[in-house]
Amino acid sequence: MKKVTVSFTLNKDAVTAEVPVTWTLLKTLREYFELTGAKEGCGVGECGACTVIVDGEAVNSCLYPIFEIEGKSVTTIEGLANEDGTLNPIQQAFLENNGVQCGFCTSGMIMSAKGLLDHNPDPTEGEIRSSIAGNFCRCTGYVQIVEAIDMAAKTLK
Amino acid sequence: MIEYDYLKPGSLAEVLSLLKEYGPKAALIAGGTDVMVKIRNTKKSPDVLISLRELKDLQYIKKNSGYHIGALTTHRMLEQSEMVQKELAALHEGASRIGSVQVRNVATLGGNICNAAPSADTAGPLLVLDATVVLEGPEGRRSVPIAEFFTGTYKTVCQAEEVVVELEIPSEMEQFGSAYWKHSRRKAMNLPILGVAVALKLGDGDEISDARIGLTVAAPTPVRAYKAEEFLKGKPLNDDVLAEAGKIAASPDCCSPRDSLRCESWYRCEIIETYVARMGRLAAERIKESS
């Protein structure tokens, strides 16, 4: 199986990986770097459980060929908390608003929220809902998630 | 599991020479939101993926005697462009309704039309905006009107050795108002059951001086409803005229929607009839707003 060597920034660290050419960013994160926060739900870009930030934008890591990641900067859920272990305001807001039930969608949900709040610190409810339209949650009914993102926006301001 | 290699050419010239070398064994990949899914579903099994992601000079939205949009422009760039929102409203609506933010951040306009799904959300808007597809190949550049670009379901005139590099929209579209309706069961993450795009130009006293209607999921390819357009030209803008145009657009003279899992043909015809009129009204309102 042909391999590719890629160097990129992962949660602020410079990293290099040698993995099969056909691997996606998601597979590389989970199998090579053992960062299992990003999940594989559907594997075809429908559910958003694999959402990570690449060069400042939320993307589906399950559709991102690993060979395209050379030189880019990737942030996953594991890169959000502070070094002393305190949570990022978005993570904290999800906890306080019961935005987490089974947890499978949570990493992707929070990364989509980060993608929104990094560009738009004062989103409307419609903008919040649109930003997570590609993240499926089968437990919460979304209301607490939307409230959590709204609270995170207010905390971050 | 399909095995493939990859190449990352740094220029369009390199892409063309690689296409010549590998021919049909190669597949181009831009945002990857169609290509990666097809590979996973084993509907596509290229020996080599040729990445277009390094060709940053094909990512632009410019206005310069007409509108010029680079093939690698993402849907997100179109969604966030104020110029596209104000002056090419139908395209803004099509691009903003594709997939999710995550998909729109990487999926490209060139990719959407080259994939050539009958449901492509940018196809209807590009049809009514009278876009021209600019292709580059071993023989040089050529331009194809978007109405002649789609040759079948998932098929286009783009040859194996060619690359779509730009979409051009004529400057006269400034005088049109346009609108696109994506009929779907959810507001996001959905393919349209039917798509209706309308562009109108008004003359003196609210007479319709020019009209274009584009339909998607109404035939094996995105189509123009020419007979309904002809009917509208020279008519006064009113509800009866728009309703009649909707009837003509929904007739077998203009479309041939099929029964499918997502929707039956009769219902698709009802949507065409209703929304050609509604989008015509919205397109006309937009002319008045901008003037």
Question: Are A98 and A69 found together in one domain?
Answer: no
The whole-number pLDDT of residue B83 equals 97
> Which residue of A27, A50, A59, A136 to mutate against B (max B Cβ within 10 Å)?
A59
Cα-based torsion angle of the residue sequence A139, A145, A148, A149 in order, rounded to the nearest 10 degrees: 150
The mean pLDDT value for A145-149 works out to: 98
Task: Mark whether A122 and A96 lie in a shared domain.
Answer: yes
The residues, ordered by sequence, that sit 6+ positions from A24 with a Cβ below 8 Å of its Cβ are A61, A62, A63, A64, A65, A66, B36
pLDDT for residue A114 is more than 80: yes
Tell me, yes or no, whether A69 and A93 share the same domain. no
Give the model's pLDDT for residue B208: 97
- Is A65 within 8 Å of A120 (Cβ atoms)? no
User: Which residues of B fall within a CB distance of 8 Å from A38?
Assistant: none
Question: What pLDDT sits at residue A66?
Answer: 98
B37: nearest CB among A21, A22, A45: A45
Contact A101, A140 (CB under 8 A): yes
Q: Residues B229-283: pLDDT tens digits?
A: 999 999 999 999 999 999 999 999 999 999 998 899 999 999 999 999 999 999 9
β-partners of residue B50 are B7, B28
**CA gap A128, A50 in Å, rounded:** 19
Q: Does B76 touch chain A (CB under 8 A)?
A: yes
**Predicted confidence (pLDDT) at residue A94 exceeds the cutoff of 80:** yes
Do A98 and A73 share a structural domain?
no
**Chain A nearest-CA residue for B33:** A63
For B7-53, write each residue's pLDDT tens digit: 999 999 999 999 999 988 999 999 999 999 999 998 889 999 999 99
d(CA B224, CA B214): 4
- Give the closest of B8, B99, B105 to A57, CB-based: B105
State which of A30, A45, A79 marks the end of a domain. A79
Q: Is A59 on the interface with B (CB under 8 A)?
A: yes
Q: Are residues A97 and A65 both part of a single domain?
A: no
8 Å CB contact of A130 and B40: no
Nearest chain B residue to A128, by CA: B101
* Chain B contact set for A63 (CB, 8 A): 32-33, 36-37, 106
Task: Say yes or no: A151 contacts chain B, CB-CB below 8 A.
Answer: no
A142 shares its domain with A123: yes
Contact A116, A146 (CB under 8 A): no
Report pLDDT for A126. 97
User: Is A84 among the domain residues?
Assistant: no
- Angle between helix B89-96 and helix B265-290 axes, rounded to 10 deg: 130
Query: Is residue A64 in some structural domain?
Result: yes
pLDDT category at B2 given cuts 50, 70, 90 is confident
Are residues A106 and A149 both part of a single domain? yes
Q: Write out pLDDT tens, residues A47-90.
A: 999 999 999 999 999 999 999 999 999 999 999 999 999 999 99
B4/A contact by beta carbon, under 8 A: yes
Q: How many CA within 13 A on the CB side of residue B89?
A: 23
Q: Are residues A69 and A118 in the same domain?
A: no
Give the dihedral sign, CA B65/B70/B73/B75: positive
> Of A79, A106, A134, which residue constitutes the final position of a domain?
A79
Count of C-beta atoms within a 10 Å radius of residue B248:
21
Q: What is the pLDDT of residue B291?
A: 67
Q: Which two tokens stand for residue B273?
A: 């009839």
Residue A75 and residue A13 in one domain: yes
Position A130 confidence tier, pLDDT thresholds 50, 70, 90? very high
Cα separation, B132 vs B145, whole angstroms: 4
A75: domain CATH number is 3.10.20.30
Q: B40–A43: do the CB atoms touch at under 8 Å?
A: yes
Q: Is 90 exceeded by the pLDDT of residue B138?
A: yes
Torsion of CA B147, B151, B155, B158, to 10 degrees: -70
Domain boundary among A17, A50, A79: A79
Shared domain check, A66 and A8: yes
Do A42 and A7 share a structural domain? yes
Structural domain total, chain A: 2
Q: Is the pLDDT of residue B186 over 90?
A: no
Q: A94 and A30 in one domain?
A: no
* A116: containing domain: 89-156
Q: CATH number of the domain that A133 lies in?
A: 1.10.150.120
Q: Pick the residue of B55, B101, B185, B187 with the most A CBs within 10 A to test the interface with A by mutation.
A: B101
Domains by residue range for chain B, with CATH: 5-51 (3.30.43.10), 56-172 (3.30.465.10), 173-290 (3.30.390.50)
